[in-house]
Every structure is written in C-alpha cells, then in structure tokens.
C-alpha cells in the first residue's frame, strides 16, 4: 500500500526537518507520560511489594481488584477526571481541565494499578525466598518493602517500562481531559488521532513511527542503564 | 500464637522462665505428623545439641522454638514468654540453607546491623574477619562458595547479638579448620552467656560442644540427656542405632 | 472554544485565529469534539464559546440559559459521497431523499455517523422524509459507525459505503480513495453553523469578555471576510452569513 | 457531580434489565478480547521464555524492541491493520475489515509484545535458578521453555491478566478496524466512546462500570482457579 | 569451547582418552584467579575424591570438568573430547546446593527420565527406594528436609545413568546411616564402571571411598596421589595442615 512508503518517507522527513510543532508535541508527550510513570512507580511499587508480603483476610479480593483495574478503560478514566476537574466539578476551581496536569492525573490513574499488580507479581518470588529470614530478623513491613524493592529493582524495571508504554500509547483519556488543544495539550497520540480523522493516514502513520522511535529511545536508555548495573545485582 | 501481654502460666517455674519450656508441641502437613507431640525443657544457658536422622524434625523444631512457625497444638515458652515476635527479636536463627541477600558480602552484614540501628563499619569488618571472609567483603554474596555462605550467615546472626542463637548444621560444608574456628566462636559466645541450640549429624562435634543432647526421631524426642551420658551409652534404641550408623529412616 | 470537529478538521481555525489573536491579543484554545459533546462540555462551563451546527439543540441550549444568544456564522452544504462504482446509481441526483431511498432499495451499504452529531441529526431528518426504516436495517446495509465525520469517512471508504458528509470535511479529507461526490445541491442539504457565547450568568467562571470579543469578531465584516477567504485546493469551504435570520435553510 | 449517581443507577439498571443490546456488546467484547489474549499468550509466553533463556548477540536490542513495542499506540496498530485489510490493501480480498476477526488481529498485535516482555521478566528469576541444572542435563531449548512455562505458570497468570486488561480496555485500534458498527462490531469501549461523543456521560460511565464488572469477573475466576492450584505449585 | 568434530590432539595418549586430561586450566572473576593453572590427568574409572579448604575451587573444578562453565584458558578433555554439550550428555553433576524443580519428589525424577526418553514408573520408584524417599514421593520437593533434598538430587543424577558422576559434597547434611547408604551406592555404581568424582571435607569418608585424591588449594592442585599415600603422609604442606585442621583460608 502506498501509504506505508509515504509514511516512512514522511516520518524521516519530520524527524530530519526537526519540525518545531513536532518537537513541541513530542516534548509534551514525554513530559506527561514520564511524569505519570515516575509518580505511578513511586506509589505503585511499594504498594505492590506490600501486597506481595501482606497476608490479611480479603487479600485475594484486593488482588482481584487490582488486577481487574489493569482493564480500566482510558475513556472511562478520562470521563471521571473530566467530571472531577470540569469547572462544574468538585475540583473545578483549580481550572486544571485541558492542562498537561490533567493529562498526567488521568494517566496516573490509568497505570498505577498496572504498576501495583505487576510489581506484586515481580516481587513475589523474591519475597518467598527472603520471607523466613526477614521474619527471623523481625523486620518491619516498611523495612521488608524497602529491601524487596531494592533487591528486585531489575525486575521492576520491566514493570516501569510496561507502565510507560501504556501511558505514552494511551489516547482515550488524554484527549478527553486534555482536549487535544494545539500548542497546549496536543500529544503524539492525540495528534495521530486527529490526522486519522482528517484521513491523512500517511501523516498519522509517520507520527506513529516517530512515537515508536521515542519509545525505543526511552527503553534503550533504561535497559542499557540496567545492563550496566547488572553486575551489581548479585543475581 | 498467644497474646504476649498475658502473664506466664502459674506452673512455669523459675528455671523454666530462664530457658525454653515446650509442651505438647504438634505440627502436621499433608496429613503427616512432622512434630508429633514434643515436651521439652531446655536450660537458658549452655550449648544444647539436637541430633537425629534426616527428616526427624530438627529444623522444624528450631523454627518452632524461634517462633517462626506456629504449631498446630502445644506451645513454646521462652523466659516465660510464648515464642513469637517479641522473643524472636532477641534470638537469631542460622538456616540450614543460608538465605543471603542479593548484595555484597559486606552489605549483607550492614543490612542486619542497620535493622538493629547498629550500622558500624569496624564491627562489620571484625565479624567478617572472625569468619575469615574479610577478603570477600566486596563480592556478591550469592557467588560465595558453599562453605563461605554458611560462614557469612553465621556472622550475620552474630551481628544481631542475640540472647539465643539457633544453628542448623552450621558446619555441614565447612573444611576442618573452619569447623574448629566456628566451634571456638560458639564456645566463646556461649561462655559469655549466649544460649546455643546446635543441630549436627557429627557425633564428634556433639561430643566436643554439647552440654546436653536432644535426640529426635520421627518428630518425637527419643531422649534428652547430658552429653557424656548420651555418648557413653544412649538409653534410647534409636539413638544407639543412630550412633552406630544403623538407623535408616 | 468548544467546536464541532468538521470545522476544526477542515483547518478553518488555523486560518482564522491568527488574525483574531493578533488583533485582540487573546489566544483561543480549540477543543474539537462531536457537536453533542461540545454542547455537553459547554453546559459544564468548560468553554467560553460554542461553534456547532445543530440548530435545534443549540436553540435549546440558549433557551435553557446556558448561552447568551445563538447567531448564524456561516454555512456550507452536505453532500452524499460514495464509491466510483456507485452500485445504487445515485450519481448526479439532486434530491437527497430520493437518493437515499434508492440506496436503501439497492441494499447498498450506507455509513451513518450514528453519534447525534449535527451531521447525524441532518441525516436522520433526511431519512425521515423517506419510508425507509433504518432502525431495522441497522447492522445490515445501514451501518452506524458511532464515530466522528473523519472516522466515518475512513470507514465508508474502507467498506465502500455511501455516507453523508459536510463539504468542508470532505474537501480537506485526505483518504478519499475512489470516492466521489454523488449527490449535492439539494436545499435540504444546507448546513448552518451557529456561534453561541456561553452565558456568564450561568457560568461565572467563563471568560466573558474574551468570549464576547470572539463572537463579535467572527460576526464582524472582518471575521466574515476571513471565513470567505479560506480555501482548500481553490475551493471555498464556508460561506459567511452572519446576521439575524438570513437562514434560508429548510 | 450528578453524573456519578446517575451512572451507577443506570449501570445497575442496565445489568438488571439484562438489556439485549448490552448483552450483545458485552458478548462481543469478551469474545474478541479473550480470543486475542489466549492467542497472544500461546505465542507470547513461549517466546518470552525463549528470550529469557537465549543468549545471543543482539539479545539486548531485541529486549529493547519488545519492551518498546509495549508502547505501540492502538491507533497506529488500527491503521496498519486497516491498511492491510482494506479493500485496496494486500489482504483486502478476504474482506476481513469491519469484522470481529479484524478486531482480534489488531488486539493480538497490540498485546503480544506485552505478553512477551512480561513473560520474559517473570521467568528470568526461575531460569536463573534452573539454568545450570538444565545445562547439566543438556536439555533442548524447547524442553527448557516448556519446563519454565510449566513451573512459572503462577507468575504467568498475572501476565495473561495484564494482556487481557489491555485488550478489553483498548478502543483506539478496534474502532478503526471494527468501525464500531452497531450490531456488528460494537464493543464496550467503542460504545463508551460513542456515548461520550454524544455527551451522554452518565450512559458512558454506566457502560464503563459494566466493563469493570466484567473485568472483575474474569480476574476473579482466573485468580480463584490459581489459589486452588496454589498448593500444587510447590512454591 | 572447541569444535567437537575435530580429532583429539595428537599428544592425547590412549590412557588420556579413557579419562580426563586437564591442561593449563585458568578461570578468574572480579580480578581474582579462582582456578589458577591446573594440569591434571584423572583415570577413566574408579573414585577420585577432591578435597581442599572452603573456596579452594572444588565446585568450580567440577563444573569445568563437566563443561558447564568455559575456562578463560586451558582445556578439559574427556575420552579425548573437549568438555562440552557432547560430553555433558554422558555425565551427571549433583550440585552442592541441590536444584530441585517446583514439583513433587516423584515428578523431579520423572522429569529427567523423560528427557532421556526413559520415563518409567517402576524405575523411578526403585530409585526413590534406593535413597529412602519412597514415602515422600508425592510431597513437594522444595519442602523436603536438607538431607532429603540431597538424596533426591543424587537419585535424579543416577536416573540419567551417566558414565561419569560428579558429586559435590553429597553427604554434607546426611545422617550417619544415610551416609553409609550413599557410600555403598557410590561404591556399587563405580564397581559397575561409572567414574565418580567426589568432593568432601570428611577425611574419613575420603579414606573409605577414594582410589586417588586431588587436593586443591587456592585454585591450584597442591597434590594428586593415591588415597593410602595421601592419608599416610601427604606430601604437600597445605594438605598436611588441612588434615590437621590447621589450614585456615
Ligand atoms: N512445609 C512442609 N510440608 C510438608 N512436609 C514438610 C514441610 N516441612 C518439612 N516437612 C517434612 O518434615 C520432615 C522434617 O523436616 P526437617 O527439615 O525438620 O527435617 P530435619 O530433621 O531437619 O532433617 P535434616 O537432617 O535432613 O535437615 C521432613 O520429612 C520434611 O519432608
Ligand atoms: N561467579 C563467581 N564470581 C566470583 N567469585 C566466584 C564465583 N564463583 C565462585 N567464586 C569464588 O571462587 C572460590 C571457589 O569457589 P568454589 O565454590 O569452587 O569453592 P569450593 O572449593 O567449592 O568451596 P566449598 O568447600 O566452600 O564448597 C570461592 O572463593 C568463591 O567465592
Ligand atoms: Mg534440617
Ligand atoms: Mg563447593
């Protein structure tokens, strides 16, 4: 299909020409998704570890809940945030709707459950290995969580990347709370959606290729950082 | 596990308070009785050696005494307190299979020191020297040799300065010299008043270390006697057979 | 500015706004969504001005006090587009109603917005003139895409179905495939855009002055001229018709 | 905000009334997403295991690639499938566009990388534990992969659920290749998007609640199945 | 690792083909020489016991001979073939720390039998009886006691019917009776022609089993002599010190 060729040509053109609008959009995409991912990890990884170690009645239910929330539809999250931030909404006074902050909030809600569920899984084995030793040492939950997150950081990297992937690729939520306003809240995915609705598939694909290039860059950086510190992991 | 607040039962005599008082201890899994009714009183000082065939329940007994696992029936009292978090905090257990953190040798010591708010380089290095791992300080603990790992685990236990130290076959894969060194350490700390509960299959080692010997067989205490007595002529048939190397589970 | 997608996608604002912003030092943020959603957002006071094309709903909006007043801005027209093959043979017809009937009789695929947008409301109005029961046909030859104009056009092109679109979107649409304009020129296909300033009385939070400035400007000769100037591929997309009721529609 | 109350009321009404249209949509959602998830697991888990055990030059690059593909934007996937399946496209002859099959294909492309990356991470520790023993036994790669997937099945459950969550919540791709055609390819997420664009937020939220209820149901089933076989896991 | 296809080097004499011929073996990690230049010729039959202090390199040497890890320098030839997949397939190694699958005891045996296309219940049960684990067949292998785990690992190795079996301190945590039993098994299979390379810290055990003894110290072969010679009076100072329990790494 000619679109493919056109798309690639266009993509490289865009990247090469270092188009101002594009860089602006790319910048915002990274800003929003990285912020959301970092916050989600800061919140979700300790919670995931806690879920991996805690043994309480209803733990099963919580696990099911968290896992189910991985299926939270972006559009719904978008709506909830919209209703909360809309000028008529409870938090309307802050006037956050149609700002990058609103987009970060939406993505945060979207990926935090993913980070929790995956962290819990990633740390379960390590916990099973350490548990008796830690109980013998009478460590507090906080101490156990800290130790697990530290020694399990290599596995947690993948978890973080999964969260980032979900965030950077997501469109349903950000387009509702961001509004895809040019020069203000337009990110890669919303731009792609726009080009698609204009029927400019080549441009949409080109942007998609650029987005993937970005994802590749971020993952490359993170994982190479990982392999460097690998040895220190004392696997 | 019982509520720590409550006072020790009336019958708990003074000497009982000092050491361990185990009554009607039972634990079963998969429909099998692993600990099959143990009553035992262990002194609060000195070295108690636990012997018995593979699968007799030695490791489980240690975990029960340490309050790591809860019995199905019966209870363990230490110094008049039911075994649990409170007692565990003042004890240390070196597992048969050392559980080492995915960190360097030194960091494994630092970690426990930190949990006791006693982080202290010099103390750490002293401990590593004591078990002959000074040169390995920077190496990933998981890459230590079998014997080195056991020694690290012991050093880590010592770092917590416990009142009771449970050692589950701590010299199983040590070379003769290390065995001697560890035995000296054990005698020394015990002399300073630390209670030692020591599991071994080595009759010679038992003879060298033990004040009293608990012989387990099929989850029961076959006999509990002073060391000399035991070595001279064990009263129980299983123990006699064991020492003769005849007892095969 | 809460706007319908058709105007936004056509690129009109990229043409208009720079002039306005330069003149008034006001930056305009365009939120382009379906007419229904646009009005909904405005009801929540999330917008200072509303620019859509669904007269009835708009007047309701105003009568409920959410808007200051509704005024015509501009118009263009709807067209029926379809594949070159034209299985129902409606090419060149000028009576939209008869064309649709023929499509229905031919059981030829027809893609409907199905999203309560201005275009969809118009389409349903057209069907109502025929005896065709689109409800019953839904899912068979009558395909409700429940999507925006662009998405619906993509779908139509993808499956070779007829569809109703506004000319502005069509002209600036890039994925035309082998599609052509088949039906046009019927008065029923008139497409009126209205502008409404969100009522500060109802929504204290709105930026009344800026909103008013925009409405005034776009209705002013200058704004109207700017609209008339906008062309894609030499074709004029929107025809200014500001003023009270010059609505020559139906 | 009144919408919340309305939404919940409406949601229960919908569920209670067992609305025919709704059940049709729910059914299709489950059908498409479950199919996509199962196929993705069948393909992705062995590949993930293989990636965990294989040591070849460029492995790092592959890992980066797979992790990056977790950030594949649904819209882009939708476009690619659209172009491939559209009448003008290479696979146009099959006339798959705007059929559930097309939606399954799109979701499959979307979640397979996720399943691969997460499976690789989930099985890495287990592999590190087994590796030397297996090398000593001279097991073939196939045998190793089989053993890892079998003994690691508990961790892989979470991976599968993550994939399912992504699939069931996804809208960008299915709306392009499915067309959200009423009674034909309309699923929960596309229906939600539609109600949103209509401005009927209450209905949109209600559908969102129903969708979450479904996700809860699926996760509940899977995880309870897990806890049943837990003991057999010989942790 | 060398290409298996190529013929053994000319100097590889007949007796060399039968057993192991190790030349200039070196392995270092973290800037430390772990195996520091080993040249060794080991008979193709009989029981070779490897001794040496903790960290001497015994386990590493076994892995190198088994072709599990590649040396930095030098090579290992077995029956004229460079150590690698081809030779490994005809050998078995019981690790110092048994690696058991997260399955039942029986399934752990079945697994290796299956990989050798020899799945066979009766044979499996026979093996379990041999190591005294018949009653544990259904139990999760990870929950076995330390000694039971070592015995399962041995049974699993025997299941592959190897020509060479490397045993890394296989009786470290076994009770006396099990030790005897395992030693009998080892003698038996060796008598049937299976080559045994056996690591232990127990001089008594070495005396009972060894045909020849390799003594490692700091990654070097301090001495390699027939058992009697070694026990009577070891030539090397380290060995003498070790047996006297004086050598402390
Ligand atoms: N969680 C468990 N579930 C089922 N059986 C168990 C469990 N833990 C231990 N066992 C069994 O209980 C018995 C006693 O275990 P224990 O580890 O106490 O033996 P031991 O006396 O320490 O033996 P060894 O000398 O080999 O260390 C063993 O037969 C073991 O298989
Ligand atoms: N991968 C590795 N990286 C760094 N050092 C290692 C590695 N593996 C082993 N070592 C070191 O090499 C030395 C020899 O290890 P090895 O396991 O062969 O000792 P060993 O003779 O088996 O001792 P033990 O009697 O305690 O089993 C040890 O000091 C160990 O710390
Ligand atoms: Mg034990
Ligand atoms: Mg060793």
What Cα–Cα distance (Å) separates residue E122 from each residue in D195, E85, E131, E137?
A: 66, 29, 15, 13
Q: What value does the CA radius of gyration of chain C take, rounded to a whole number of Å? A: 18
Taking an 8 Å cut-off on Cβ atoms, the answer to whether E68 and D234 are in contact is no
Tokens at B40, concatenated? 């035992």
Interacting residues of C89 by C-beta distance below 8 A, sequence separation 6+ = C102, C106
Tokens at C18, concatenated? 């720079």
Q: What value does the CA radius of gyration of chain A take, rounded to a whole number of Å? A: 20
At C244 the pLDDT is 54
**pLDDT confidence tier of residue C247, bands split at 50, 70 and 90:** very low
Tokens at C108, concatenated? 């030829």
Cβ neighbours of A202 in C, within 8 Å: 174
Q: What angle do CA C242, C244, C245 make, to 5 degrees?
A: 100
| Residues C150 and C32 sit within 8 Å (Cβ to Cβ) | no
**CA–CA gap between residue B65 and residue B79 (Å, rounded):** 12
Does residue C20 surpass a pLDDT of 70?
A: yes
Mean pLDDT of chain C: 88
Is chain C adjacent to chain E, meaning 3+ CB pairs within 8 angstroms?
no
Which candidate, B69, B74, B83, B61, places its Cα nearest to that of B198?
B61
Which candidate, B180, B242, B248, B193, places its Cα nearest to that of B214?
B242
Q: What are phi and psi of C57, to 5 degrees?
A: -60, -40
Q: What are phi and psi of D9, to 5 degrees?
A: -50, -50
Inter-axis angle of helices D59-69 and A153-169, to 10 degrees?
50
Does residue C188 surpass a pLDDT of 90?
A: no
Mean pLDDT of B178-203: 95
Tokens at C69, concatenated? 């007043």
Q: Are strands B164-168 and B195-199 parallel, antiparallel or unpaired?
A: parallel
At E3 the pLDDT is 42
**What does DSSP assign to residue C221?**
H
Mean pLDDT of A90-112: 92
Q: Are strands E212-217 and E220-226 parallel, antiparallel or unpaired?
A: antiparallel
Tracing tokens 């000074």 back to the chain, one arrives at B134
Q: What angle do CA E54, E55, E56 make, to 5 degrees?
A: 95
**CA–CA gap between residue E156 and residue D9 (Å, rounded):** 62
**CA–CA gap between residue A201 and residue A196 (Å, rounded):** 5
pLDDT tens column, D144-168: 999 999 999 999 999 999 999 999 9
Does residue A234 surpass a pLDDT of 60?
A: no
CA-nearest residue to D131 within chain E is: E99
Taking an 8 Å cut-off on Cβ atoms, the answer to whether C146 and D186 are in contact is yes
Does residue E147 surpass a pLDDT of 50?
A: yes
| Residues A97 and A88 sit within 8 Å (Cβ to Cβ) | no
D172-210: buried (b, 16+ CB within 10 Å) or exposed (e) per residue?
bbbbbbbbbbbebbbbbbbbbbbbbbbbbbbbbbbbbbb
Mean pLDDT of B90-112: 95
Does residue B233 surpass a pLDDT of 50?
A: yes
Question: E246: phi > 0 → left, psi -120 to 50 → alpha, else beta; which?
Answer: alpha
Tokens at D97, concatenated? 């566009």
**CA–CA gap between residue E30 and residue E28 (Å, rounded):** 7
D79-96: buried (b, 16+ CB within 10 Å) or exposed (e) per residue?
bbbbbbbbeebeebeeeb
**CA–CA gap between residue A118 and residue A113 (Å, rounded):** 8
Tell me how far the alpha carbon of residue C212 lies from the centroid of ligand 2, in angstroms: 81
Does residue B48 surpass a pLDDT of 50?
A: yes
pLDDT tens column, B120-171: 899 999 999 999 999 999 999 999 999 999 999 999 999 999 999 999 999 9
Among B49-58, C129-138, E33-42, E177-186, where is mean pLDDT lowest?
A: C129-138
**pLDDT confidence tier of residue E6, bands split at 50, 70 and 90:** very low
Interacting residues of D140 by C-beta distance below 8 A, sequence separation 6+ = none
At A13 the pLDDT is 83
| Residues D109 and A207 sit within 8 Å (Cβ to Cβ) | no
**pLDDT confidence tier of residue A65, bands split at 50, 70 and 90:** very high
| Residues A177 and A78 sit within 8 Å (Cβ to Cβ) | yes
The CB of B146 under 6 Å from ligand 2? The reply is: yes
Interacting residues of A61 by C-beta distance below 8 A, sequence separation 6+ = none
Three-state SS for B221? strand
Tell me how far the alpha carbon of residue E57 lies from the centroid of ligand 2, in angstroms: 6
pLDDT tens column, A151-173: 999 999 999 999 999 999 999 99
Taking an 8 Å cut-off on Cβ atoms, the answer to whether A130 and B101 are in contact is yes
Alpha helices in chain E (DSSP H): 14-18, 58-65, 85-88, 105-115, 121-130, 146-159, 176-191, 203-209, 227-232, 237-243
| Residues E66 and E134 sit within 8 Å (Cβ to Cβ) | no
Tokens at E234, concatenated? 């070891």
CB-CB neighbours of A176 under 10 Å: 31
Is the confidence metric ipTM above 0.85 for this complex?
A: yes
At E4 the pLDDT is 44
From B98, B141, B145, B171, mutation site for ligand 2 pocket: most ligand atoms within 8 A of C-beta: B145
Percent of chain B scored above 90 by pLDDT? 78
Mean pLDDT of D101-122: 96
From E30, E59, E174, residue closest to B201, measured CB to CB:
E174
At B18 the pLDDT is 78
At A11 the pLDDT is 81
Three-state SS for B40? strand
At B7 the pLDDT is 47
The CB of B110 under 6 Å from ligand 2? The reply is: no
Q: Is E174 on the interface with B (CB under 8 A)?
A: yes
More confident residue, B85 or B241: B85
pLDDT tens column, A13-33: 887 887 788 899 999 999 999
Three-state SS for A170? coil
Beta strands of chain D (E only): which ranges? none
pLDDT tens column, C94-119: 999 999 999 999 999 999 998 888 88
Q: Which atom of ligand 2 is nearest to the CA of E52?
A: 21
Taking an 8 Å cut-off on Cβ atoms, the answer to whether A97 and C174 are in contact is no
Chains touching chain C through at least 3 C-beta pairs below 8 angstroms are A, D
CA-nearest residue to C83 within chain D is: D87
At E247 the pLDDT is 56
At A66 the pLDDT is 95
| Residues E141 and D235 sit within 8 Å (Cβ to Cβ) | no
**pLDDT confidence tier of residue E246, bands split at 50, 70 and 90:** low
| Residues A67 and D219 sit within 8 Å (Cβ to Cβ) | yes
**CA–CA gap between residue B96 and residue C86 (Å, rounded):** 82
What is the side-by-side order of every strand in the sheet holding E212-217? E91-94, E164-168, E195-199, E47-51, E212-217, E220-226
Mean pLDDT of D216-235: 72
Among B157-166, B171-180, C68-77, D2-11, where is mean pLDDT lowest?
A: D2-11
Inter-axis angle of helices C118-129 and C96-105, to 10 degrees?
80
Q: Are strands C31-33 and C2-4 parallel, antiparallel or unpaired?
A: parallel
Q: Which ligand is nearest to the CA of E173?
A: 1
Three-state SS for D201? helix
Which candidate, D173, D21, D189, C2, places its Cα nearest to that of A76?
D189
| Residues C247 and C192 sit within 8 Å (Cβ to Cβ) | yes
**What does DSSP assign to residue A233?**
G
Cβ neighbours of B97 in E, within 8 Å: 97, 146
Q: Which atom of ligand 2 is nearest to the CA of E57?
A: 18
Tokens at E26, concatenated? 């070196």
Cβ neighbourhood burial of B232 (10 Å; 0-12, 13-18, 19+)? exposed
What Cα–Cα distance (Å) separates residue D234 from each residue in D52, D112, E142?
A: 22, 29, 6
Q: Closest Cα to atom 1, ligand 2: which residue?
A: B143
């Amino acid at each position: 299909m000619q679109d493919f060729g056109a798309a690639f040509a266009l993509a490289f053109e865009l990247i090469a020409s270092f188009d101002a609008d594009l860089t602006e959009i790319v910048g915002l995409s990274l800003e929003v998704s990285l912020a959301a991912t970092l916050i989600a990890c800061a919140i979700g990884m300790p919670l995931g570890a806690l879920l991996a170690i805690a043994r309480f009645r209803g733990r099963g239910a919580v696990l099911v809940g968290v896992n189910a929330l991985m299926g939270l539809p972006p559009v719904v999250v978008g709506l909830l945030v919209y209703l909360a931030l809309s000028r008529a909404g409870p938090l309307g006074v802050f006037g956050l709707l149609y700002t990058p902050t609103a987009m970060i909030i939406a993505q945060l809600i979207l990926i935090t459950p993913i980070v929790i569920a995956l962290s819990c899984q990633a740390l379960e084995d390590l916990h099973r290995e350490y548990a008796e030793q830690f109980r013998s040492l009478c460590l507090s939950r906080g101490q156990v969580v800290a130790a697990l997150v530290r020694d399990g950081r290599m596995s947690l990297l993948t978890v973080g990347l999964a969260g980032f992937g979900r965030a950077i690729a997501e469109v349903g939520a950000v387009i509702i709370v961001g509004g895809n306003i040019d020069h203000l809240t337009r990110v890669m995915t919303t731009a792609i959606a726009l080009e698609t609705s204009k029927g400019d598939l080549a441009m949409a694909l080109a942007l998609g290729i650029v987005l993937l290039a970005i994802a590749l860059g971020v993952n490359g950086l993170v994982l190479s950082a990982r392999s460097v510190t690998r040895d220190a992991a004392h696997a | 596990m019982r509520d720590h607040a409550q006072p020790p039962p009336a019958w708990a005599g003074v000497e009982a308070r000092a050491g361990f008082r185990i009554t009607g201890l039972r634990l079963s899994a998969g429909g099998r009785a692993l600990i099959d009714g143990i009553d035992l009183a262990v002194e609060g000082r000195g070295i108690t050696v636990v012997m018995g065939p593979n699968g007799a329940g030695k490791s489980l007994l240690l975990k029960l005494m340490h309050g790591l696992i809860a019995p199905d029936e019966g209870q363990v009292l230490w110094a008049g307190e039911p075994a649990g978090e409170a007692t565990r905090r003042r004890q240390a257990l070196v597992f048969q299979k050392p559980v080492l953190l995915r960190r360097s040798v030194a960091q494994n010591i630092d970690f426990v020191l930190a949990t006791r708010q006693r982080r202290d380089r010099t103390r750490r290095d002293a401990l590593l020297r004591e078990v002959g791992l000074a040169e390995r300080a920077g190496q990933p603990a998981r890459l230590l040799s079998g014997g080195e790992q056991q020694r690290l685990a012991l050093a880590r236990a010592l770092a917590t300065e416990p009142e009771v130290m449970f050692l589950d076959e701590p010299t199983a894969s040590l070379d003769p010299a290390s065995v001697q060194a560890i035995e000296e350490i054990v005698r020394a700390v015990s002399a300073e008043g630390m209670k030692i509960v020591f599991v071994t299959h080595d009759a010679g080692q038992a003879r060298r270390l033990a004040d009293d010997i608990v012989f387990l067989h099929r989850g029961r205490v076959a006999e509990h006697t002073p060391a000399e007595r035991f070595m001279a002529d064990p009263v129980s048939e299983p123990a006699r057979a064991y020492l003769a190397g005849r007892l095969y589970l | 500015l809460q706007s319908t997608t058709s105007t936004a996608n056509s690129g009109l604002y990229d043409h208009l706004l720079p002039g306005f912003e330069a003149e008034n030092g006001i930056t305009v943020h365009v939120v382009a969504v379906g007419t229904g959603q646009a009005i909904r957002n405005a009801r929540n006071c999330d917008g200072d001005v509303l620019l859509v094309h669904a007269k009835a709903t708009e007047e309701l909006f105003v009568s409920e006090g959410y808007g200051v007043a509704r005024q015509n801005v501009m118009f263009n027209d709807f067209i029926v587009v379809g594949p070159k093959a034209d299985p129902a043979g409606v090419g060149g017809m000028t009576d939209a109603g008869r064309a649709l009937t023929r499509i229905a009789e031919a059981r030829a695929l027809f893609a409907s917005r199905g999203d309560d947008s201005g275009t969809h409301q118009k389409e349903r109005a057209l069907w109502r003139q025929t005896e065709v029961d689109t409800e019953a046909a839904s899912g068979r030859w009558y395909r409700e895409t429940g999507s925006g104009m662009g998405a619906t056009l993509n779908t139509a092109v993808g499956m070779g179905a007829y569809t109703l679109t506004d000319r502005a979107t069509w002209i600036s649409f890039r994925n035309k495939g082998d599609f052509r304009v088949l039906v046009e020129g019927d008065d029923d296909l008139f497409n009126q855009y209205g502008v409404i300033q969100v009522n500060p009385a109802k929504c204290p939070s709105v930026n009344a002055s800026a909103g008013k400035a925009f409405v005034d400007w776009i209705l002013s000769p200058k704004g109207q001229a700017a609209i008339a100037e906008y062309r894609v591929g030499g074709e004029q997309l929107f025809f200014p018709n500001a003023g009270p009721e010059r609505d020559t529609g139906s």
